[in-house]
Structure 1
């Protein structure tokens, strides 16, 4: 039986629903204690915690807004003080505010950049700072197919996610010799609230596998990248998109 000392902690931002929830459950089933971050959806985070418990896992809920640097730093410090460290970070928090670029307001642009890209910095930097002395850790960020192909109406989202791809490759190179791996997963069309209003039958015709992906299919790739099975993989952007490109 696994001892308390051997249990690892995974922090998942945006864990209250969708892909984030699936990642929390997958990591819990793999033996991690999961810290479920949320910003405003407490009920959703509690549902995720129930799902984590249902697979025999352990977890806790942790509220902070990834856009707020000081709040994030305090939350990370508190987690490290209580748990001894964070072994895995999954940057999943993100928002969409679609619109044609020519008519996109500054607020729409900034809200997506602040959550997706600045949020990546606000969370990753303090967590990485705690991983370096331990010379171990895995960081996986959730990007998007929109970062790799043109998707009209998503200039803000594509910019944030493409920047995460690039930043992750650089960070991976900087910390590779310290035993820390940094990778990205770029999902395609996944069955979450984000595409609830989309014409799904029309979408399927664009996907070689002729179906929309499931959140757990993304979560399994994240779990692999966090595991020792991926011990020689870093600086990669891995697409999970049914063969779209």
Structure 2
């Protein structure tokens, strides 16, 4: 039976990016839909107040990235934090990427804030701190596409740190076989990252912009990490049946 994944879309793509890349939700559907593990998806835009009904069942809830701050007080962010805490207390499996990683850490008792390291963009390498994840053997390091300036600076109690770098010490974590989060974007492609960098060029220094663009020539492990995410959900479902 396919996994049922609820994608909580926490942002709208900039209008200039929509023709080529559609939405954050569609990028996740493309990434996760290409994995060996069968899955079905439903996308809800929480910025617009769109949530699944209480009668709908999902094997996991995935929170996407966003340009917003996870610690912000906008009404939709406050509601999302409340909703995620309810889902966690109900025992639902939760996945988070970038903003999703940050907001889940915050909801579960960690700390997320504007990082003194500043912006990170392009391809970034993380040291893997575990030898296996979701029944997969982990390589010593992974490359991920990133775009963020907030970071998780304290993990929730009981969380296991999975990946780290000097720039981003808390780059991925797992909690109780129920929560799996990554700061990087497995759903991004180099083409999307290049378009995003070009759109935001004015906020970066020339040196940072050039370095971030050049980093896109490196490979990235988005497809691998998408597989880990689905297999994590599948493992959680098997343990509950």
TM-score by length of 2: 0.47
Q: Which has the higher strand share?
A: 2
Q: Which has the higher helix share?
A: 1
TM-score by length of 1: 0.46
